[in-house]
Each structure stands twice: as C-alpha cells, then as structure tokens.
C-alpha cells in the first residue's frame, strides 16, 4: 500500500496511495495445523499440498489514492504485471477510499486509521508501500506514505520487502517508472518465493540514502544564467528574475524548481574548517549511516566541493549531531554555525577521514524551491514585451531570511548561473488549449482570473499567452476581450507606509495588457486602510451581476492563485455570491481551478 502527500502546499490533498496486502495462505494453513511456518516459501505455486481445494489461495490486494491520476495508472500497471508474471491471485483492487476493511477516506485517512483495532488486519498479512512524492515539499515529502507505514508498523503487519516504504520522486521522473519497475520486480520475486533481490548499491533506485537520491534529482537539473535588477533593500517585496533556459517546450503557467545553492564563500569556509584540500577531496555517498560500500565502483563518489555546494544545506541544522559525541555541547542552529563553533577541535590531528565522512553525511540535503512561471513560452512573450527567446520570468517574494529569495539571491550577481528544473503544472491544462489548432477562428472561453501578490505570476503567464494567441489569430480584440481580472497586491498605506510597493510592478504591466483590449473587466485592490480584500469587491451589485452572468450563463472558467487564506476567502465569497450549490456545480464541472502557494 502507498500514499502521497505534497506537503506544505495546503491545496494538495493526500495524493497517490497504492496498497498491496499479501495474505500468506501457506503460513495460515500451517498455523492452523500447528506446523512451524519458518522455512516455507511464500508463493502458492511452489506449494506441494495434498489437498489444494481446502486451502485459501494467496491474494494480492492493490489499492491506490491520489488526485492526479498517476497512482491509479501505476496501480493498473501493477495489477496487469502481477497477473501476467506471477502466480498471485488479485484480490481487492481500487481506490483506498473503498478499502472496506479499514474504512479509510482520503482526507481524514490517517487519524481514523490509528483508532482502528489491530485485529482488523488478519495474521500473516504483508504489505509494501510505494510513495509518490515531490522533493520540493521536502519537509513532508511522501508524508502520507510514511504515516501509513507507521500505522502498519504499529499494527505489527510485516513488510514484504526490506525497504518497507519505497519513495519515488516525481521531480526526478514523472511518472517515476524506473523506480516503479524495480519495485514491482522485487515484489514478484518475493511472491514467487525467490526472495528479494538485495541491492543497496549506488545504482539501486529503491535506495533510502538521501544523498544518492539527491544525486538522481540533480541529474534532472540544468544550468541557466539569471538577470535581475540588483536588490536594494527589497525584503518583503517582489523581485522579477529572468532565467535563460535551454528547453523549448516550457509550459505556460508551469513551475520551475530552483536549487538554492550554497555560496562559494560558505563552501570555502567549511572546506577550511574540515581541513579539506580544495581540488582533489571526494566523498563516497554510499557511506551514509556508517555503511561500508562492498565494491570499489565510483558511482557513489562526488567531489566534496560539489557536495558542499549542491547537495547539502549549510544554513539548516545538521540532521544528527551523533558525530559530535565528546565535543562541547552546542545548539544545532545551522551546519555553518556548528562547524564554526567546533573549528578548533576539527583542525586537530585527531580528526580522522572517517569522522569527516560522518560530519558531511549528517548534513541536511538541499531542498529546491518552487516558483510559477510569469512569462509565456509562446513566441517568447514576456511580461514587458513580445518576442525574445528561451527566457523564463518569475516573480520572487523576498522573504526575510528566505533561503533562496534572500540568502541565495543576495550572493548572486546578474549573469551568474543557477541550477533549475522546469516542471509542468497539470492543474491549469484546461486553460491552455493549443493556440495553433485554428488560429483564424480562435474564440477563447471566458476566464475569470483572481490573484494576489506573487499569485499573479501564473496569471501574467496566461495573459502573455492570450495576447500572443489573439495577435496570431488576427482577431478583433474588442470582440474577444474574454478575460476578467481581479488583482490584489501590497502597497504602502497610512498605517503601513514602509511596505514595499508592488503596485510599481503590477500597474504598468496590467495597463499594457489592457491597452490591447484584453480585459472585459479589470479590478485592482491594493492594500488599503479599510482592509478591503480582493474578494470583497464581489459583493457590490455590479460585480455580483457580472459574476453570475459570466460564471452561470457563459460557463466561464475561474482560476484563483495566492496564499491559502486568500484562496479560501475567495471560494467562500464566491459561494455567497453564486450560491453554494451553484459553486459546487462549477467545481464539479472542473471550472474552478485553485493554486495555493
């Protein structure tokens, strides 16, 4: 069985969950007859029983959960593969919500499971969990799968494989077919009584070694030069960053992951404290948790400099301070601070290569940050211009002490390179019909866009795209002004005169789109003393009437983007204006798309 939850983003529900329970009838039969179960194979087909008719056949149950469809597709593949290649009998198959025995429901799954009696799991049940995760949500990466795993552990249900929870990362491969293949082959091998093929090496895709997994993640990243206006006390404000990309097929309104690399200065500092030579020092990633590699392959070896720059976060606390036993006690605030505190001890001759390895492999891995593309890939259109090639623009909110937005960017200069990876955004696909299908007769559906702050980034991407489409189709813009925009942004007020002014970025941009006649309605809500929020404008009679016309009569699409509180506020207000039932129907028709930052 397995689960996915894309962590920190509140709009993401617990995602794919595939469950597989293996009932071992051989052991059950032996137990019933008081015979030792210890040395028997698992698979039914290897049984040499005199009367098979009295024996319950072993069953493999496959469950999945997820909203994106990946989990169900993989579950289907697994079922077919098991049927075709093993002696297993497929038992229950379906969405985890329908798993009667545990009464699991996708959104309240985990608490209610903990309340169930252990007796609900028959003796001899085995499980294996395949988690679909996204490394950008590291703090809760594969969180739901881990919770399910814990529950089984508590209930003393035995894992089928050595790695009871197989974590795949959709940011490395989507769908993660390579890991999936290794998983299903391991399962078959165990079910058919051949035992598990053990591979803990650097090439094992089922590895739980975070550094080897990070190495696989980095293989999918590219390098691109950035340009931006130099930062000038912009904390709290928005920085427009342009990245030179090599890809041609970057999805409008898509996402980009950025690795907040450690600065050369900080890498150098750690190299000095640990007394590591700059050029020829290497680290073997396979030594994680004291493991000794059993071959001399080079596949787990990287230069220490690359490791300190791209693999680990020197600004986060160590994952463990076990290596520091015997050293004076120190607060684990960040790798840099801890190492600086121990710099004298670590320079001494008693510091072995082994200890250095332990220190390095106790550092936390570096979590990529996710941003929305604010430009369009169509004809290279961007926020301020039409034309230009292979450039992606993003709007970065500079958070106080933000690892990427503050620490990393302040160490970069325009022209420096960053490590990035483009990622599609399946949520918005219905808003992006191909522009070239029928450019002459291009008749866009009405779209209502509602965004605040950097939540306006994907909206800008959409507007750039729509503008290019209309220009390409030679349409009459006035007839085709099929966009309603509600935009909210920060701006200084009498109460808060020092707030960075986002109006300077957004107003000229929207004015430019407006000059093409792109909007049928445009509403701004900058910060204001009366604390009127974007959604409060829905209440005025004119706007209410317009929303009813567009959404109910004209079947407009709605795209909402911003923080969790804003998105909830907008949905609540839409419910009040349209009526809860009507909004529910819009939602069921898939016309309400919400992206939460």
Ligand X SMILES: Cc1cc2nc3c(=O)[nH]c(=O)nc-3n(C[C@H](O)[C@H](O)[C@H](O)COP(=O)(O)OP(=O)(O)OC[C@H]3O[C@@H](n4cnc5c(N)ncnc54)[C@H](O)[C@@H]3O)c2cc1C
Q: Which of 165, 370, 463, 586 binds ligand X (CB under 6 A)?
A: 370
226 binds ligand X (CB under 6 A): no
Question: Does residue 405 bind ligand X (CB under 6 A)?
Answer: yes
Binding mask 259-288 for ligand X (x = CB under 6 A): -x----------------------------
Single residue of 293, 317, 563, 575 touching ligand X by CB under 6 A: 563
CB 201 to ligand X: min, Å: 33
549 backbone dihedrals φ, ψ, rounded to 5°: -65, -50
Among 193, 402, 517, 526, binds ligand X (CB under 6 A): 402
Cα–Cα dist 555/535, whole Å:
20
Side-chain-side CA neighbours of 297 within 13 Å: the count stands at 11
Site for ligand X in 199-218 (CB under 6 A): none
Instruction: State which of residues 31, 369, 503, 571 lies at the interface with ligand X (CB under 6 A).
Output: 369
Stretch that binds ligand X, among 158-166, 174-182, 197-205, 402-410 (CB under 6 A): 402-410
Q: What is the 3-state secondary structure (H, E, C) of 225-292?
A: EEEECCCCCCCCCEEEEEEECCCCCCCCCCEEEECCCCCHHHHHHHHHHCCCCCCCCEEEHHHHHHCC
Residue from the set 59, 73, 403, 512 that interacts with ligand X by CB under 6 A: 403
Termini Cα distance of the chain: 29
Nearer to ligand X, 358 or 397 (CB): 397
Judged by CB, which is closer to ligand X: 425, or 537?
425
- Nearest distance from C-beta of residue 490 to ligand X, angstroms: 12
- Gap between the Cα atoms of 244 and 391, Å rounded: 5
| Minimum gap (Å) between residue 4 Cβ and ligand X | 15
Work out how close the CB of 403 gets to ligand X at its nearest, in angstroms, rounded to a whole number.
3
Residues contacting residue 354 through CB under 8 Å, at least 6 positions apart: none
DSSP assignment of 75-94 equals HHHHHHHHHHHSSPEEEEEE
Residue choice 64, 130, 404, 506 for contact with ligand X (CB under 6 A): 404
- Residue 170, exposed/middle/buried by CB under 10 A (0-12, 13-18, 19+)? buried
CA atoms of 577 and 539, how far apart (whole Å)? 7
Instruction: Determine if 360 is a binding residue for ligand X (CB under 6 A).
Output: no
Residues 243 to 262 in contact with ligand X, rule: CB under 6 A:
255, 260
Rounded Cα–Cα distance for residues 414 and 222 (Å):
18
Instruction: Select 409 or 483, whichever has its Cβ closest to ligand X.
Output: 409
Query: Counting contacts by CB under 6 A, is residue 372 touching ligand X?
Result: yes
- Residues 425, 252 contacting (CB under 8 angstroms): no
Find out whether 267 and 281 touch, Cβ atoms under 8 Å.
Answer: no
- By CB under 6 A, the count of residues binding ligand X is 21
Using CB under 6 A, pick the residue from 5, 261, 356, 397 that binds ligand X.
397
Tokens of 156: 């003393």
Minimal distance in Å, beta carbon 562 to ligand X? 10
Does 462 help bind ligand X (rule: CB under 6 A)?
no
Which residue number is nearest to ligand X in terms of Cβ?
A: 402
Q: Is 552 helix (H, G, I), strand (E, B) or coil?
A: helix
Judged by beta carbon, residue 96 or residue 259, the one nearer ligand X is 259
Give the torsion sign (CA, 78, 84, 88, 93).
Answer: positive
The burial of 401, by beta-carbon neighbours within 10 Å (0-12 exposed, 13-18 middle, 19 or more buried), is given as: exposed
Of 258 and 359, CB closest to ligand X: 258
Nearer to ligand X, 78 or 396 (CB): 396
Q: Which stretch binds ligand X (CB under 6 A): 15-23, 340-348, 401-409, 465-473?
A: 401-409
Among 399, 438, 554, 584, binds ligand X (CB under 6 A): 399
The answer to the question of residue 454 lying near ligand X (CB under 6 A) is: yes
Per CB under 6 A, 568 contacts ligand X? no
Peptide bond into 175 cis (omega under 30): yes
CA distance linking residue 16 with residue 486, whole number of Å: 33
Asked whether position 366 contacts ligand X by CB under 6 A, the answer is no
Is residue 597 part of the contact set for ligand X (CB under 6 A)?
yes
Return d(Cα 463, Cα 381) in angstroms, integer. 10
What is the Cα 407 distance to its own chain's centre?
22
595 class by beta-carbon count within 10 Å (0-12 exposed, 13-18 middle, 19+ buried): buried
Stretch of 159-167, 354-362, 376-384, 397-405 contacting ligand X, by CB under 6 A: 397-405
- Judged by the rule CB under 6 A, the positions of this chain that interact with ligand X are 9, 255, 260, 369-372, 394-397, 399, 401-405, 454, 457, 563, 597
């Amino acid at each position: 069985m397995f689960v996915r939850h894309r962590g920190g983003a509140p709009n993401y529900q617990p995602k794919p969950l595939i469950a597989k329970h293996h009932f071992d009838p051989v052991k059950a039969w032996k137990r019933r007859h008081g015979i030792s179960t210890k040395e028997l194979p698992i698979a039914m087909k290897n049984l040499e029983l005199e009367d098979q008719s009295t024996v319950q056949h072993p069953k493999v149950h496959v469950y999945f959960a997820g909203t994106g469809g990946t989990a169900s597709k993989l579950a289907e593949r697994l079922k077919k593969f098991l049927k075709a290649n093993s002696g297993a009998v497929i038992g229950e198959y379906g969405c985890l919500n329908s798993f009667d025995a545990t009464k699991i429901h996708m959104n309240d799954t985990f608490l209610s499971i903990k309340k169930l009696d252990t007796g609900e799991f028959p003796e001899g049940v085995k499980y294996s969990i395949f988690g679909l995760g996204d490394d950008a949500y590291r703090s809760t990466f594969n969180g739901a799968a881990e919770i399910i795993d814990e529950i089984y552990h508590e209930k003393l249900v035995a894992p089928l494989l050595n790695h009871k929870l197989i974590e795949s990362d959709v940011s490395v491969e989507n769908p993660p077919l390579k890991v999936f293949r290794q998983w299903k082959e391991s399962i078959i091998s165990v079910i058919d009584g051949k035992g598990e093929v053990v591979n803990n090496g650097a090439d094992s895709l089922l590895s739980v070694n975070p550094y080897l997994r990070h190495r696989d993640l980095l293989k999918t990243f590219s390098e691109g030069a950035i340009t931006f206006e130099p930062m000038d006390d912009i904390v709290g404000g928005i920085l427009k960053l342009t990245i030179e990309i090599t890809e041609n097929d970057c999805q409008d309104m898509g996402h980009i992951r950025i690795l907040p690399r450690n600065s050369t200065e900080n890498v150098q500092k750690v190299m000095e404290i640990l007394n590591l030579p700059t050029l020829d020092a290497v680290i073997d990633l396979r030594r994680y948790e004291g493991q000794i590699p059993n071959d001399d392959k080079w596949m787990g070896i990287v230069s220490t400099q690359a490791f300190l720059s791209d693999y680990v976060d020197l600004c986060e606390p160590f994952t463990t301070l076990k290596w520091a036993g015997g050293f004076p006690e120190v607060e684990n605030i960040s790798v840099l601070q801890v190492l600086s505190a121990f710099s004298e001890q670590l320079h001494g001759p008693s510091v072995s290569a082994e200890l250095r390895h332990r220190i390095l492999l106790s550092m936390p891995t570096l979590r990529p940050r996710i941003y929305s593309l604010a430009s369009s890939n169509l004809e290279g259109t961007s926020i301020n211009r039409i034309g230009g090639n292979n450039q992606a623009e993003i709007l970065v909110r500079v958070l106080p002490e933000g690892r990427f937005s503050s620490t990393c960017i302040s160490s970069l200069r325009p022209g420096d390179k960053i490590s990035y990876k483009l990622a599609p955004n399946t949520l918005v696909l219905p808003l992006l019909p191909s522009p070239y299908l029928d450019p002459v007769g291009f008749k866009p559906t009405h779209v209502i866009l509602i965004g605040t702050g950097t939540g306006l980034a994907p909206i800008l991407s959409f507007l750039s795209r729509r503008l290019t489409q209309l220009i390409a189709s030679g349409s009459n813009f006035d007839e085709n002004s099929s966009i309603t925009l509600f935009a909210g942004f920060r701006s200084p007020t009498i109460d808060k005169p020092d707030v960075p002014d986002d109006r300077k970025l957004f107003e000229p941009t929207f004015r430019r789109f407006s000059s093409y006649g792109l909007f049928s309605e445009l509403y701004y809500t900058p910060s204001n003393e009366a604390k009127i929020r974007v959604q409060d404008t829905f209440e005025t009679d004119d706007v209410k009437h317009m929303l009813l016309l567009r959404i109910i009569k004209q079947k407009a699409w709605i795209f909402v983007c911003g923080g969790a509180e804003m998105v909830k506020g907008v949905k609540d207000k839409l419910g009040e204006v349209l009526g809860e039932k009507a909004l529910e129907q819009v939602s069921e028709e898939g016309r309400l798309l919400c992206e939460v930052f």
